Each structure stands twice: as C-alpha cells, then as structure tokens.
C-alpha cells in the first residue's frame, strides 16, 4: 500500500537522523586492511524501515531520489518477529528477478537494529546483527508485488600488502551472481574505514547474438506514415519544429503541427558535427565534459557513480521550439537556434503530401523512441557523440503526442 504525501510527511517527523557510511571511489592501491568484497547490484536505492503505522507494526519501503532524499513510501507485506518495529532501518537496492515477477531488497548496510545505531560499529559487528535480522524475517512471495530480503554476494580478500582494485569479477563469483553488478565495494571487517568502490568493466562479446530485445525510452507517442515531399518550398527556408531529446545521444525527435494544432511526429534531427552536438546537448543534457575538457580527467562524484538510471543525464520531458535548416544531401533538418513562443511551428502539410489522406485512412503506429531503428539507424551513422553541460533554456509543457 502506497503512503500518501501527507502521511509520508508526518512519518518523516520521526524518521531517525543519521549519516550513511562514507563511500569513496578507489583511484589508487587498496590497503591490505580491506579484507572483504561485496558485489553491489544495479537497482534503485531504498530504505526499509520497520516501525509502527497507526496501530500496526509495519515495514515501509522508502524510495530515494537523485538528491538522496526520501520521495515515496510503500507499506510492504512482510512478516517479521523479534520486535524489529522498535526501530530497525536497512539500506540497499531493489533488484527484480529475470522474469520481473518478484523483487528482492539486497541489503547493503544496517543503520539501526531495534533502536541500536551502528555509526561506530565495525562491519564484523554489523554482520552479526544482519544475521539476526534475516532470521527475524519470514521470506515468502504472497503476490507478485511481494519483496524478499537478501544479503549481497560477498567474499574474502587476502593480501599482506596493498593491491590494485579489481576491475573484473572473479570467475567463481561471476558464476554464482544472481543479479547484475554495478560495482564492487571493499570493506574492512575490523577497522572502521570508508567503503571503497571499484567500477567493474564489462567484457565485450564478439560472438554474434540474435536478440529481439530493443532498447526503448520511457515515453511513447503516436506516429503515422508520411510521404515527405522535398520539392515543397518550405524545405528551402528556416523552419521551426518542436523538439524533444531521446535517451540516446544525438537523437532528437521533431514534431510539426497537424489537425487542430496537434503535434505530429515528423522525423529525427540531423546532427552533422561537433558544434551542433554540443549545442543540442547544452539544451537537453547535463554533461560537464564539453564545458571544460579537463573534466574528462576527473572522476565521477559519488551521486553520479551510484545513479544507475538510464536518463540521469538527459531531460526527456523538455520541449523546445528550435529553428532548423534542411540538409539536401542527407534529407534531414539541422537544428540552429532556440526560438520563443512567438514563432510559428511548421504545419505538416508544408512538408508532406496527402497528409489528410494518411490521417483518415492509414493505421497509426506506436513509436517507442527506439534507438538506431529504421531512419534513426541511418541518422546515427552521421552523428557525432559529444557531450555538453546542461544550460537552462525556454521550455514548454510536454505536448500530448497521442493524436485523436
């Protein structure tokens, strides 16, 4: 059961005050005092808080947003004993199984256990309480929305001297991992030291694999087949489109106006060079390297490192009016500059033939922002892949892409 914003705000008044264990990214050799490794999974970061809600003892799942603030609360159907509701709080990642039927909460840290705080406790001490915690939970999947608790895969690291952080998982660990790994985390069993994170480099397979899975964005919009007429006069003049960004770099979706001023999907924009790529990325994306190339040498901060969301660098909800010019060689429009609302968006009839005929008689197809499919695949061969920081620009409300 999801908790209402008012209820969540009331709960947060008695949420315990604490700081998560300090984490840092390993750049140098790892000290020999770090003697245990954890495979940290990919997934949404959350808290599981065992407390009371009204007159009931409950487990509340608390979602954490990108600013590391609690943004949502859900009461889980979890059976537990040993009075965990006296104030038990664990931190971890939500991981779905391959069939997406059930969800696991992989515990990365225990913060409170029945009111006891572990700020100055070693990981060895925490493991004892984690074992007691797991024995207090009745693990069962009553429904497909049920959540089960689990500990991450961990293994010993034995070294008498400092060593290089691993960039690939040990073979015997890789074989038993039940979830995709985001990074490896080194911890000390006895000493209280910051957790050290090390990125895992994924191996590239050169064996051809046939797959029906397509990478898609979060948003859908309706498209119709268009007969573009490049002989129309409009192709000789600067033209204004509504443009939105895709998750994939240098893919931008263009919309014209149709019947009753409804947005009609036209095509993807053409990004011919570095300058245009930087310009468009500055409108829709939050990437620092193009502002200052020195940033390439700098490591990601901890927030970027832990954020596994696919769209963390792009605002796919942002809509801008952009003036474009037509490239006759590649038969696509090149974005030039952002314009304000006083400029008129081009009507689809000025770009295509028999638009009304297609609207009335042809079926509509749902377009899923699929990357590198159809026309986009041809488009991607010409686009450069450079990143630029985000700068605020004039923005419109997201249009309704479902045509009546």
Q: Return the CATH number at 192.
A: 3.30.470.30
Token pair listed for 330 = 């590649």
Residue environment code for 108-124, b if the CB has 16+ CB neighbours within 10 A, otherwise e: bbbbbbbeeebeeeebe
CB-based contacts of 160: which residues, under 8 Å, 6+ apart? Answer: 32
Does the residue 385 lie in any domain? no
How many H helices and E strands in the chain?
A: 7, 23
Specify whether 186 is located in the same domain as 333: no
Q: What is the mean pLDDT of the chain?
A: 78
- The helix or strand, by DSSP H or E, that contains position 8, with its residue range, turns out to be helix 5-12
Contact 373, 213 (CB under 8 A): no
> Is 322 or 370 the better-scoring residue by pLDDT?
322
pLDDT of residue 29: 81
Mean pLDDT of 50-59: 91
pLDDT at 303 over 60: no
SS (H, E, C) 82-119: CCHHHCEEEEEEEEECCCCCCEEEEEEEEEEECCEECC
Q: Coil, helix or strand for 221?
A: strand
**pLDDT value of residue 363:** 37
Higher-pLDDT residue of 261, 346: 346
pLDDT of residue 2: 86
pLDDT at 402 over 50: no
Neighbours of 199 (CB within 10 A): 16
Q: Which of 341, 340, 358 is nearest to 349 (CA)?
A: 358
Instruction: Specify the residue for token string 């892949």.
Output: 385
Q: What is the mean pLDDT of residues 116-141?
A: 89
Residue 209 lies in a domain: no
- 150 plus 274 within the same structural domain: no
Residues 129 and 252 reside in one and the same domain: no
pLDDT at 321: 96
Please return the burial class of 368, using the count of CB atoms within 10 Å of its CB with bins 0-12, 13-18 and 19+. Answer: middle
* pTM score: 0.52
Residue 225, in any domain of the structure: yes
pLDDT: which is higher, 111 or 393: 111
Domain assignment present for residue 74? The answer is yes
Q: Which of 245, 285, 252 is nearest to 268 (CA)?
A: 252
Instruction: Look at residue 400 in the predicted model and tell me its pLDDT.
Output: 46
The verdict on 174 and 241 lying in the same domain is no
Same domain assignment for residues 12 and 61: yes
Among 199, 234, 267, where does a domain finish? 199
pLDDT at 310 over 70: no
Residue 297, pLDDT above cutoff 80: no
If one compares 136 and 362, the residue with the highest pLDDT of the two is: 136
Distance CA 222, CA 358 (A): 13
CATH number, domain containing residue 254: 2.40.50
In the block, tokens 């998560």 appear at 20
**Residue 126: pLDDT above 80?**
yes
pLDDT at 86 over 80: yes
Q: What is the pLDDT of residue 203?
A: 52
pLDDT of amino acid 392: 39
Residue found under tokens 């997406």: 100
Question: Which is higher by pLDDT, 331 or 384?
Answer: 331
- Looking only at the bridges linking them, the beta strands covering 103-113 and 147-150 are parallel
Whether 19 and 122 share a structural domain: yes
pLDDT of residue 146: 77
Do 152 and 105 lie in one domain? The reply is: yes
State mean pLDDT over 287-304. 50
Confidence of residue 62 (pLDDT cuts 50, 70, 90): very high
Cβ–Cβ under 8 Å, residues 149 and 135:
no
Residues 49 and 193 in one domain: yes
Residue 369 belongs to what domain range? 221-380
Query: Residue 279: what pLDDT?
Result: 92
Instruction: Name the domain count of the chain.
Output: 2
Tokens of 246: 């895709």
The rounded percent of the chain whose pLDDT value lies above 90 is 37
CB 224 within 8 A of CB 258: no
In a domain, 233, yes or no: yes
C-alpha 135/C-alpha 80 separation (Å) is: 9
- pLDDT (average), residues 246-272: 88
State how beta strands 79-80 and 70-76 pair.
unpaired
Residue closest to 11 by CA, chosen among 77, 67, 70: 70
- Based on the fold, state whether residues 116 and 265 are members of the same structural domain: no
| Tally of CB atoms within 10 A around 6 | 8
């Amino acid at each position: 059961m999801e908790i209402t914003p008012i209820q969540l705000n009331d709960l947060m008044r008695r949420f315990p005050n604490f700081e998560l264990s300090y984490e840092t990214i390993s750049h140098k050799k790892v000290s020999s005092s770090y003697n245990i490794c954890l495979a940290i999974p990919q997934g949404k970061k959350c808290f599981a808080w065992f407390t009371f809600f009204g007159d009931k003892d409950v487990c509340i799942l608390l979602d954490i947003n990108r600013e590391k603030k609690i943004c949502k609360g859900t009461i889980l159907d979890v059976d537990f004993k040993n009075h965990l509701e006296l104030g038990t709080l664990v931190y971890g990642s939500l991981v779905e199984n391959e069939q997406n039927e059930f969800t696991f909460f992989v515990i990365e840290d225990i913060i409170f256990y029945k009111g006891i705080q572990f700020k100055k406790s070693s990981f060895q001490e925490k493991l004892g309480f984690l074992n007691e915690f797991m024995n207090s939970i009745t693990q069962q999947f009553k429904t497909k929305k049920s959540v089960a608790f689990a500990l991450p895969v961990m293994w010993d690291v034995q070294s008498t001297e400092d060593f290089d952080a691993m960039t690939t998982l040990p073979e015997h660990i890789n074989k038993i991992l039940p979830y995709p790994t985001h990074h490896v985390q080194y911890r000390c069993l006895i000493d209280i030291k910051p957790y050290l994170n090390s990125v895992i480099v994924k191996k590239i397979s050169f064996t051809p694999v046939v797959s029906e899975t397509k990478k898609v964005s979060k948003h859908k919009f309706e498209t119709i087949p268009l007969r573009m007429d490049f002989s129309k006069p409009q192709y000789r003049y600067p033209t204004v489109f509504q443009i939105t960004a895709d998750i994939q770099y240098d893919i931008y979706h263009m919309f014209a106006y149709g019947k009753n001023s409804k947005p009609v999907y036209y095509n993807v924009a053409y990004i011919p060079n570095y300058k245009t790529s930087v310009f468009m990325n500055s409108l829709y994306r939050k990437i620092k390297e193009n502002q200052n190339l020195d940033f390439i040498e700098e490591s990601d901060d901890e927030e970027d490192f832990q954020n596994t969301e696919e769209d963390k660098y792009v605002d796919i909800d942002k809509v801008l009016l952009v003036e474009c010019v037509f490239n006759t060689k590649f038969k696509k429009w090149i974005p030039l500059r952002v314009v304000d609302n006083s400029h008129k968006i081009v009507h689809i009839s000025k770009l295509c033939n028999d638009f009304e005929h297609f609207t009335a008689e042809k079926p509509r197809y749902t377009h899923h922002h699929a990357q590198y499919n159809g026309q986009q695949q041809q488009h991607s061969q010409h686009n450069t892949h450079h990143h630029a920081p985000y700068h605020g620009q004039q923005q419109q409300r997201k249009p309704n892409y479902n045509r009546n």
